[in-house]
A and B are shown apart, each in its own frame.
Chain A
């Protein structure tokens, strides 16, 4: 059965190629990319560079299916309505073969739903929301980035080890922060049933009242704090908390805070000893990362941020998907993406057939300060596949079909 299908597919591809003629074979394969460039520039500028690097490398190596690739980018304004329109423009006017990109959860989910309706492949690059592969998952959508749940789960072993009883929580008040908080509470409670959550602060994204929040958390006298703040909110929280002595004798866990995008601005105030997920780019010695790092620094005279890795790996996923499918037919692309394995700067990843989540891992460690700059110490790499719930749980969450 399988072999016959493969044969048929191969034959179809050949026919398609011969029909299309040499001119079409020369034209580049267009990949439609959309993102909220102007809303999250700190993350997405490096991301764009990662994309450019990947495109350059792929084309230098002769492209894919004998054609060069071209990534056509659009700004979605951080607005799902605009994103759906831009996605349509990429497909129908630009002739993009499929879609990649997006950052905020609501935009990612809207484009995922659009992809399902339009029956076209979508590789979500950065949205962290668990829903995109679980509750709202669909056949056409795949997600690269280590999700909120996974990153939270990666921090749990350290949290359990500390045996702290009173936890306070602070999170940006939208999908990402809410899911991170829910996942953390659930996972920690499972491992440590006597845990107590003594305070919970939901702060408006980008508008945290850091002094008041730090004071309110301190009033609850926690042993430890779990935070999912990032960007300016994180910087404000760190400074106010330090000035007010909130972190004295208190362990702090903070998702994403080890990512250069959010750690570097903190400079000498980087909070020593915080447990974080992130990207210790200068200390990674694996061959795949070294190769990426050298190429990136040679091209941009700058060091990569996590966004760079995400942009790079997204394009590489797309290219490997095309290569494996041997065609630009949507059903074949989707079939090829499912179970696709490729090497990224973070090592081998697989897009899991069960939920289309990639097993891209993340680095977990603690923040240290050296020469007036923050860095990650005591870090270890956690493979994404070890931070996911059981298959049975995933199947329960993900709708059939």
Chain B
């Protein structure tokens, strides 16, 4: 790269960073105060783009029309944010940690279909900014004038936010709440109003980030998920709740991407290294590096010790007879039901083990994982590759795959157990995405974006019923094993460590060691689920390691209820079954799915199983 192209790519990176910063700053504010992992933040960004597109059509392509549309779209998105907060989230603040994530996930689905209904499926290319459509010549190269405006907008918004946060009473409250949420409640501040106002400001920032992209990005239905991962990464790299950190991180990541593109392909020692392909994963690489070196992000501070609002409830020992009766019933299904029921149940059984393994680590062990698909997918790929590339018999591949997934969990876990909270969760996501990108790129081994085909079970298992029994036995055994471990000294030590790391250390428990072992254990069992899944499908693709797969796992656990043992199993069954039923309607199934989840969220803020249990208890009390 010449000096000129370095400077131009730097400017490109800074221009790209502007919107990333706005969106991330909003996310950071909302998370800092409410502790909500807001999946719907990307949807708000998308609405900003669509809204600005429509408003410009309405106002006309004049400078006033353009900027008026941008500002109005951002404010309108702020109102949508208020709506989400008041109608949905406010009702579930007391629910267990992360439960709000489920609600915001449902909101994503609903908003996506509303956008499809309102604006149609075709990409909408917005106009260039009136008066700024030309390019400016810098060092013999042309850069859009609008990009230079964006570069200026970033610091301006940063400054405005800084003033808002340091010079106003509202800002003082937000900063206090970010440091210590209960403290603000104790000071007699109206928490509901504070949360609503923070949601408004955060949503406006997301909407503004979207609206400003109008001259650079066609409004389309994939924007929500495209931006949300980046926004989370930037928020975490910068340090949760730190607006300055978000600014810095947005620049680091925006510029890093631009340079990956700018460097292109380089030949080193006879090997061609394509930096442009690195754009798939560079933000996650940066995040992993930052978190390993700085466990609280670039400018983040360790959070004030969270006084758990309510301690996790006691886990009830599972009734083994109950479990065995269920297993027996499930074993009888193929005798009575049709072929497809058996196949659907095979899926459910695999996902149940996947969800139970995720629940083990995020519930009792207290380490939330946003990247649990890594082990599911690695297990699936290990099974497929051992069969197809290394010629192992299917049975051997199936048994070795969990060990390989466990090995990866040992490596990734070593880094992860050094962090806590959302930082830990995001590091698991980083490792999952890094694994995904390797699988996605390594054509000669993994089949690249296509995946591996012909991963079918041995002849004696080729019958769907026979395979269902295999899945039932393996996954059922896996689930019962994990439940059993939860009530062993090892499992108790994990729960103890989650309740009070301080006390655990003070009575000689090497908590990290236990957590690391737990990581390996659930990694191996998620890998088993993945391997069983792979052979039931006959093929494996990178989507088995994708963010979507990880999210599915979280949804299953939260839907069923994180505070009960059977919750994840029920959640896996309901979610898989719902998707099967709802997706029959190809028109607006996502909105229906989102609506159903929202209904469950509002009716059963403890998750399905937790909610039903509470109902039963109340019913018994009334009769007594």
A residues neighboring B (CB under 8 Å): 35, 37-38, 41-42, 44-45, 48, 73-75, 77-82, 84-86, 88-89, 92-93, 105-106, 109-110, 112-114, 117, 129, 131, 136, 173-175, 178, 199-204, 206-207, 209-213, 215-216, 218-220, 231-232, 235-236, 239-240, 243-245, 261, 264-267, 269
8 tightest A-B CB contacts, nearest first: A41-B121, A174-B449, A212-B261, A110-B539, A93-B340, A212-B258, A92-B339, A113-B453
Complex: A234 Cα to B276 Cα, angstroms: 17
Per a CB cutoff under 8 Å, which of A42, A78, A136, A178 touches B122? Answer: A42
B225 nearest CB neighbor, chain A only = A206
Task: Please state if B133 and A215 are interface contacts (CB–CB under 8 Å).
Answer: no
Task: Please state if A245 and B135 are interface contacts (CB–CB under 8 Å).
Answer: yes
Smallest Cβ distance from B465 to chain A, in angstroms? 12
Task: Please state if A215 and B586 are interface contacts (CB–CB under 8 Å).
Answer: no
Task: Please state if A243 and B144 are interface contacts (CB–CB under 8 Å).
Answer: yes
Task: Please state if B274 and A202 are interface contacts (CB–CB under 8 Å).
Answer: yes
Complex: A44 Cα to B587 Cα, angstroms: 11
Smallest Cβ distance from A31 to chain B, in angstroms? 15
Task: Please state if B264 and A80 are interface contacts (CB–CB under 8 Å).
Answer: no
A199 nearest CB neighbor, chain B only = B264
Known: A86-B583, A113-B453. A269 touches B9 (CB 8 A): no
Q: Is B31 an interface residue (CB 8 A)?
A: no
Task: Please state if B257 and A212 are interface contacts (CB–CB under 8 Å).
Answer: yes
Q: Is B62 an interface residue (CB 8 A)?
A: no
Number of A-B contacts (CB under 8 A): 217
**Residues of B contacting A42 in the complex (Cβ-Cβ under 8 angstroms):** 121-123, 220
**Residues of A contacting B9 in the complex (Cβ-Cβ under 8 angstroms):** 212, 215-216
Q: Is B28 an interface residue (CB 8 A)?
A: no
Task: Please state if A85 and B279 are interface contacts (CB–CB under 8 Å).
Answer: no
Known: A211-B16, A243-B133. A110 touches B220 (CB 8 A): no
Task: Please state if A117 and B538 are interface contacts (CB–CB under 8 Å).
Answer: yes
Q: Is B514 an interface residue (CB 8 A)?
A: no
Complex: A264 Cα to B124 Cα, angstroms: 10
Task: Please state if A269 and B584 are interface contacts (CB–CB under 8 Å).
Answer: no
Smallest Cβ distance from A93 to chain B, in angstroms? 4
Complex: A173 Cα to B450 Cα, angstroms: 12
Task: Please state if B276 and A231 are interface contacts (CB–CB under 8 Å).
Answer: no
In the assembled complex, 13 residue pairs joining A and B whose CB atoms fall closer than 8 Å, in A order, are A42-B220, A79-B543, A80-B540, A81-B347, A88-B339, A110-B453, A200-B276, A203-B276, A207-B226, A210-B216, A211-B216, A211-B258, A239-B128
Task: Please state if B539 and A232 are interface contacts (CB–CB under 8 Å).
Answer: no
| Interface size, B (range) | 35 or more
**Residues of A contacting B613 in the complex (Cβ-Cβ under 8 angstroms):** none
CB interface residues, B 523-547, toward A, < 8 Å: 533, 537-544
Task: Please state if B218 and A201 are interface contacts (CB–CB under 8 Å).
Answer: no
Per a CB cutoff under 8 Å, which of B122, B133, B141, B451 touches A264? Answer: B122
Apart from A131-B450, A199-B264, A232-B222, list 7 A-B contacts with CB within 8 A.
A48-B586, A106-B541, A209-B258, A213-B276, A232-B123, A245-B142, A265-B123
Complex: A81 Cα to B537 Cα, angstroms: 6
Complex: A378 Cα to B539 Cα, angstroms: 43
Per a CB cutoff under 8 Å, which of A89, A129, A236 touches B216? Answer: A236
**Digit string of B110-151 for contact with A (CB within 8 Å is 1, else 0)?**
001000100001111100100001110000011110010000
**Residues of B contacting A136 in the complex (Cβ-Cβ under 8 angstroms):** 453
Complex: A92 Cα to B339 Cα, angstroms: 6
Complex: A213 Cα to B16 Cα, angstroms: 12
**Residues of B contacting A261 in the complex (Cβ-Cβ under 8 angstroms):** 122
**Residues of A contacting B339 in the complex (Cβ-Cβ under 8 angstroms):** 88, 92-93
Known: A211-B147, A236-B216. A109 touches B450 (CB 8 A): yes
Task: Please state if B125 and A80 are interface contacts (CB–CB under 8 Å).
Answer: no
Smallest Cβ distance from A227 to chain B, in angstroms? 14
**Residues of A contacting B144 in the complex (Cβ-Cβ under 8 angstroms):** 211, 240, 243-244
**Residues of A contacting B340 in the complex (Cβ-Cβ under 8 angstroms):** 88-89, 92-93
B137 nearest CB neighbor, chain A only = A245
**Residues of B contacting A231 in the complex (Cβ-Cβ under 8 angstroms):** 123, 220
Complex: A261 Cα to B121 Cα, angstroms: 10
